[in-house]
Amino acid sequence: MRHKPPLNWLPHKTETRKPGRLLSLLFPQPPICPLCSTPHKGWLAGLVHPYLCAQCAASVHELFGALCRSCGKESEHGLCPDCVREPHVFLQARAFAKYEGSAEKAVKALKYQNETGLAPVLGEWLALAYARHYGLDLKAWLVPVPMHPLKERRRGYNQAQLLAKEASRHLHMPVVQALRRISEDDGSQTVRSRAQRLTTLESAFALAPGISVAGQHIVLIDDVLTTGGTADACANALIDGGVASVYVLTVAR
Ligand SMILES: [Zn+2]
Ligand SMILES: [Zn+2]
Q: How far does residue 249's CA lie from ligand 2's centre (Å)?
A: 14
Q: How far does residue 92's CA lie from ligand 2's centre (Å)?
A: 9
Q: Are strands 179-181 and 245-252 parallel, antiparallel or unpaired?
A: unpaired
Model pTM score: 0.84
| Domains with residue ranges and CATH for the chain | 25-58 (no CATH), 63-252 (3.40.50.2020)
Q: Are strands 92-97 and 245-252 parallel, antiparallel or unpaired?
A: parallel
Chain centre distance of CA 43: 28
**Per-residue pLDDT tens digits for 20-54:** 566 666 666 678 999 999 998 876 777 778 899 99
For residue 168, name the pLDDT band (cuts at 50, 70, 90): very high
Q: How far does residue 14's CA lie from ligand 1's centre (Å)?
A: 35
DSSP 217: E
**Residue 136: phi, psi to the nearest 5?**
-105, 10
Residue 188 has pLDDT above 80, yes or no: no
Q: Which of 21-35, 131-145, 181-195, 210-224 has the highest mean pLDDT?
A: 210-224
Kindly identify the ligand whose nearest atom is closest to the C-alpha of 102. Answer: 1
Cα dihedral value 116, 121, 125, 131, nearest 10? 110
**Per-residue pLDDT tens digits for 96-111:** 999 999 999 999 999 9
> Mean pLDDT across the stretch 5-20?
43
For residue 158, name the pLDDT band (cuts at 50, 70, 90): very high
- Percent of residues, the chain, with pLDDT higher than 70: 84
pLDDT of residue 20: 59
DSSP 116: G
Cα torsion angle, 250, 235, 132, 70, sign:
positive
> Mean pLDDT across the stretch 119-145?
94
- For residue 190, the tally of other CB atoms under 10 A from its CB is 6
Kindly identify the ligand whose nearest atom is closest to the C-alpha of 82. Answer: 2
